[in-house]
Structure 1
Amino acid sequence: MTYQVTVIGGGPSGLMAAIAAAEQGVDTLLIDKGKKLGTKLAISGGGRCNVTNRLPEEEVIKHIPGNGKFLYSPFSVFNNYDIIDFFEGLGVALKEEDHGRMFPVSNKAKDVVQALLNRLDELNVEVRKSTPVEAIHYGENGHQIILKNKEKISTKAVILAVGGKAVPHTGSTGDGYAWAKKAGHTITELFPTEVPLISKDPLIKEKTLQGLSLRDVDVSVLNQKGKRIVTHRMDMLFTHFGLSGPAILRCSQYVVKEFMKGHRPVTIEIDALPDKNESELYEYLQELVKDQSKKAFRNVIKGIVPERLLDYLLSQTNVNHEDKAANISNQTLQALVQLLKHFEVSIHDSQPIEKAFVTGGGVSIKEIVPNTMQSKMMNGLYFCGEILDIHGYTGGYNITSAMVTGRVAGMHAAWESMG
């Protein structure tokens, strides 16, 4: 049997692509090597599924530092607001949380996955699970997909929605890159993004601050000259191997890019009190010392940052717990201000791409038609989702990119296959 559109990969982009193709009325097949569809959706947003983000289009694209501008074209066809309407149309009520993140009101990712599966059923999309693909043979007027069990499937159009290399237990193990190359595509260098960072600093090795989280701090990545490359204000966490938490994940791709230039280690700078500048903080500490000179200095400034961090910083400035505020020199105060505002951790490595949330790099977007997601190298070949060289921060941005590119690829593959 010949299908008009065959989608390989049943993640967010593949499910959207199959639905969009079938809505145009063409025979659609969805193949996935896993036992279940939508596994990455099911674990996203901590199992609640961060479906998309409600921020204005401009802002969403800003939060996709890896080639987000490419998405202006697909967004003109189907954007983040259309995703919200789409799910509400399927009966999944959504609610907005901090930073524009949209979740199902039920807080259950499986409701989102189920709504998509029900829609595939309604549209009579043929779904084959536990069906690994061995190879794709490209032809002039159609393509042949060879399954691992040697069965051959003929199709007018193929949509590759197989994901990248991050979170491999969901099935994204990088299979699609070879198929893209075979069609003449360039794969840009792959690297982990949204990934925890590893440090060999004594502070980390001795587990001094392990398990401590800092709220709403400024985390910056410094270049070789000590200039800031990027700063994110969010929460972060000290771990047994290094640093993690939202601010660190956001900064991680900039660290990894420095590694790719041969710069190692890379310095992460933490500003624990971003709302006060150095002179304000210095004056504030001086006031405290003057007003409570008879008390122990540690008790005077207690609560300014979490206790474990405070004790570590005091040990770094040679202040004992008993030292009276009156005996603290201005020089010591200056040193403490310096540490509170410029706490540095050397990053020696990142966790591997398999531990990352998102893959950086992929099929070069220069070789894709932006408003159709069609390959410029091969007729009847389309790409969507994380296999593309597009990556965003966590917060609903990658899923938005996947669903938008999936929707556009599915519509256009269907139209082309009817042509």
Structure 2
Amino acid sequence: MYHTIVIGGGPSGLMAAISASESGKSVLLIDKKDKLGRKLQISGGGRCNVTNRVSHEELIAHLPGNGKFLYSAFNTFDNFSIIAYFEQLGVALKEENHGRMFPVSDNAKDVVNALKTKLEENNVEVRTNNKVASLYIEDTIKGVIMDDDTIIQSENVIIATGGKSVPHTGSTGDGYVFAEQVGHTITELFPTEVPITSSEPFIKSKTLQGLSLRNVALSVLRKNGKPRITHQMDMIFTHFGISGPAALRCSQFVYKEQKSQKKQDITMMVDCFPDETIGVVKNRIIKQIESNKDKAIKNSLKGVISERYLLFLFEQAGLNPEHNGHHLKKESVDLFCELLKGFKFKVNGTQSIEKAFVTGGGVSVKEIVPATMQSKLHDNLYFCGEVLDIHGYTGGYNITSALVTGYVAGLNCR
């Protein structure tokens, strides 16, 4: 008989097990894979962006999937607590752009090892390569049943199994099955932070494959042509569509907009000069052409944007790149400038949830006590991490949510 069983050895499970064991309570951490913290170890390109040194408001803004649910938990443990916690564990952190916090060593293993050391200090029993088959129920939840039918009893169970993204780390949706077993609602699951697909001819022909655009504004447009969301970041054209930070952040809105438009293709738009008006852009382009009238426009406008994209937009606008400033139609130049500020193209969806960085949807937060992560249906059941219907953008926001909900869940096990 354990005081608490934690199912799942990812960021939220590790933190939950540590937190639950702080006052000497007996805790068992079970993970079906051979190593703990697999997702932490590959996060941030192997550097592990543990959190962000930003205000709660900014943090919530970067968690578009029910981020406000975390406000109560932040009263107990927040992003600043995470920073202090890892410093206390001996993991020195450094701040990079947008408040992102990384270990000074740039090595995610240092984060994982520090948490594993803390588990040992707190005498948490760890069982890897062990798979939970279901919750053990006799009137109430009394533990777990393993794959080999072994019953392990406990006073509390914390489900920290992750979502369905990056399945090789062990996130294959087990927690949703356990949650449904005891009456919890699972909201619709969908991929977020995932590349976007398109069947546009220029994508199929690989015209722009591998081309990166820096600091552009990428928008998902509604049916009325107005932006549903815009993200100003880098993006890249691929052989199947688009990827890169801006595309990943837009992906969940492609899914949602497609759902609202009954699976139709969605229009997206790229603005190469998001900080300038169309008038300013047009004046600059015309001035450059006028100042170099004898030059071919591919030369007079060289450096305005990436050469491949420049030539692509010339073609879209019906401009011959070899023509000089004496032979250009005003209508074509105007169209070219409009394309610089808003090239529109169709997308037909996103890659699968297994290829996503983050899972959207999960255990309904309406059925969870926000201050404790306790189930509203069962007093001794808790949820934390990506199994919950909470999701954010990449850049440390999902790990922050996982660590916060994990700590709070473990702390509140009675």
| TM-score bracket for this pair, using the shorter chain length | over 0.9
Matches of 2:25 and 2:220 in 1, distance apart?
Answer: 49
Name the residue aligned to 1:309. 309
For the residue of structure 1 that corresponds to 2:405, the secondary structure is: helix
Contact 1:289 1:326 in 2 (8 A): no
Q: Give secondary structure in 2 for the equivalent of 1:398.
A: helix
Matches within 5 A, 1:10-409: 10-140=9-139, 142-261=141-260, 262-409=262-409
Question: Is the aligned partner of 1:6 residue 2:10?
Answer: no
| Farther-moved stretch of structure 1 (7-16 vs 146-155) | 146-155
In structure 1, C-alpha distance between the alignment counterparts of 2:257 and 2:322, rounded to whole Å = 43
Normalization by structure 2: what TM-score?
Answer: 0.98
Where does the alignment leave 5 or more consecutive residues of structure 1 unmatched?
none
3-state SS in 2 of match to 1:274: coil
Q: Secondary structure at the match of 1:77?
A: coil
Whether the aligned pair in 1 keeps the contact of 2:160 and 2:384 (CA below 8 Å) is yes
Distance 2:259 2:386 in 1: 20
Cα distance in 2 for partners of 1:169, 1:188 equals 23
Deviations 1:18-42 (A, max 9, x none): 0001112210000000000000000
3-state DSSP of counterpart to 1:185 = coil
Alignment: residue pair count: 413
1:240-276 CA-to-partner distances (Å, cap 9, x unmatched) read 1000000000011000112222142011100011122
Specify every segment of 5 or more residues in structure 2 that has no aligned partner in the other structure, as ranges: none
| Preserved CA contact (<8 Å) 2:135 2:141 | no
Amino acid at match of 2:333: L
SS of 1:23 mapped into structure 2: coil
SS at match of 2:57: helix
The Cα of 1:169 is off from its aligned counterpart by: 0.6
Give the Cα–Cα distance (whole angstroms) in 1 for the partners of residues 212 and 297 of structure 2.
24
Q: What's the C-alpha RMSD, in Å, of the aligned pairs? A: 1.0
Q: Distance in 2 between matches of 1:214 and 1:249?
A: 14
- 1:45 CA drift (Å): 0.1
Deviations 1:31-80 (A, max 9, x none): 00000000000000000001011111111011000000000001110000
Q: Kindly, what percent of the aligned residue pairs are identical?
A: 57
Q: 2 CA distance for matches of 1:341 and 1:321? A: 19
- CA shift, 1:7, in A, is 0.2
Alpha-carbon contact 2:5-2:143 (below 8 Å) kept? no
Residue 206 of structure 1, CA deviation: 0.3
Deviations 1:65-97 (A, max 9, x none): 000000000111000000000000000000011
TM-score by length of 1: 0.97
The alpha carbon displacement at 1:143 in A equals 1.1
The 8 Å contact of residues 269 and 342 in structure 1, kept in 2 or not, is answered as yes
Contact kept? 1:229, 1:254, Cα under 8 Å: yes
| Cα distance in 1, alignment partners of residues 47 and 330 from structure 2 | 50
* SS of match in other structure, 1:65: coil
Write the distance in 1 (CA, Å) between the matches of 2:321 and 2:305. 16
Structure 1 SS opposite 2:379: coil
